[in-house]
Structure 1
Amino acid sequence: MEPKYEEAIRKAEQRVVEALAKNMDLYGITTSTGFLYGTLLFQDKAMTLDEMGSALGMSKTSMSTGVRTLMDLNMVSKIWMKGTRKDHYEVASDWYQNFIDFFSLKWRNAAEGNAHALKKSENELIALLAKPDFPQEQREATERSLTLIRNGLDYYDWLLRLIDTLESHEIFNFVPRKE
């Protein structure tokens, strides 16, 4: 490849890597992990932690932490390579599936945790309202709180159904992939 073209290609790729790193930072993924993902994306082969560290000028420990984060999000996978004992990693290049995995995991954890807290509070307030000695002046405020909690439960039910449509790929019936 001619050097002048190689430099133009690297510059274009680096722009994408920087944009990805910045974007991932918006979603709670460190910028360095975003750079790692972007770097792996443009490789034509799987890389070891040492190779990643060399490419990014970062420590093996930082690379290991970043790779673990990306593996937890199903954005990177460890692969076996014949003739070497070092672990090799490659990026999952299906951006649609990366989005689904990332957001489904984050949203499901948050939605289930929040719904659990709301349900517990709902049950506690219902029990209070059922007590014969519960003060009348507190009933109205408690019933308002119950309405807000139930609205929240409806929202989390909707969010979990949305996550289900993402994970089942049913979402593509409503918002098709560009073919």
Structure 2
Amino acid sequence: MLMQSSEKIEQARQDYIESLAETMEMYGLSPSMGRLFGIMFFHDQPITLDEMRSLTGMSKTSMSTGVRALSQLKLVHKKWKKGVRKDLYEAEHDQFRSFVEFFAQLWEKEIELNQKTLRKTERKLKNLLDDPDVTPDEKETVKRDLEKLQNAKRYYSWLEHLVSAFESGEIFDHVPIPEESDKS
């Protein structure tokens, strides 16, 4: 039996959708979120949760959770359309923008979490240097640990600059987006 053109299109899309699912999993997201994003990526118009559910077979709860997570990552946007009472969603098609926002958001969380803990650890270690119960060998260990924390501080300072370069778009001065004619 010969395959219809529409089936061939779907099969070609499915290959990329599965690739997106694997990619999302590499970045700590569920494969189902990747499939959901992929389906919306190829959909020409904003789509409702019910429409997504019929296309994916996912439960409404999984669908809602996935769309919410994708929205928080700015990979999916809520859209409004006159006369439509249900929420509509659309995939972000600018993959450069998605990349920047996704990684900047993750790095900002990393910076916030680790800098706070780093300062707390540094205070504790510095206090140990003044503790009369700490032996000279232990004080040397504390000094080495404080040096390691200085290197960590340098890293987080650098990462803050990288996030700033991403968010401002300055990164594209150093790594330009290829022109349309450069596409393979």
Fold shared by both chains (TM-score > 0.5): yes
**Count of aligned positions:** 177
| Cα distance, 1:145 vs structure 2 | 0.6
The match for 1:109 is 109
The match for 2:8 is 8
TM-score using structure 2 length: 0.91
Aligned partner of residue 81 in structure 2, secondary structure: coil
Say whether the 8 Å CA contact 1:119–1:153 is kept in structure 2. no
Distance 1:21 1:77 in 2: 19
Aligned-residue Cα RMSD (Å) equals 1.5
The match for 1:126 is 126
Say whether the 8 Å CA contact 1:125–1:146 is kept in structure 2. yes
Letter matched to residue 19 of structure 1: S
Aligned partner of residue 144 in structure 2, secondary structure: helix
Distance 1:42 1:63 in 2: 17
Distance 2:43 2:106 in 1: 27
| Cα distance, 1:171 vs structure 2 | 0.5
The match for 2:99 is 99
Distance 1:62 1:30 in 2: 11
Distance 1:146 1:29 in 2: 35
| Cα distance, 1:111 vs structure 2 | 2.0
Distance 2:57 2:147 in 1: 54
TM-score using structure 1 length: 0.93
Say whether the 8 Å CA contact 1:45–1:90 is kept in structure 2. yes
Unpaired runs of 5+ in structure 1?
none
| Cα distance, 1:4 vs structure 2 | 3.2
Aligned partner of residue 101 in structure 2, secondary structure: helix
Identity of aligned residues (%): 44
Say whether the 8 Å CA contact 2:128–2:139 is kept in structure 1. no
| Cα distance, 1:132 vs structure 2 | 6.0
| Cα distance, 1:120 vs structure 2 | 1.4
Say whether the 8 Å CA contact 1:112–1:156 is kept in structure 2. no
| Cα distance, 1:92 vs structure 2 | 1.1
The match for 1:18 is 18
Unpaired runs of 5+ in structure 2?
180-184
Task: Say which is worse superposed, 124-133 or 67-76, in terms of deviation.
Answer: 124-133
Say whether the 8 Å CA contact 1:48–1:89 is kept in structure 2. yes
Task: Say which is worse superposed, 45-54 or 151-160, in terms of deviation.
Answer: 151-160
The match for 2:68 is 68
Distance 1:101 1:50 in 2: 27
| 1:86 is aligned to 2:61 | no
Distance 1:31 1:98 in 2: 17
Encode CA deviations 1:140-168: one digit per residue, 9 max, x unaligned: 11100101111111111111211111111
Encode CA deviations 1:36-78: one digit per residue, 9 max, x unaligned: 0000000011100000000011111111011000000011111
Distance 1:133 1:15 in 2: 64
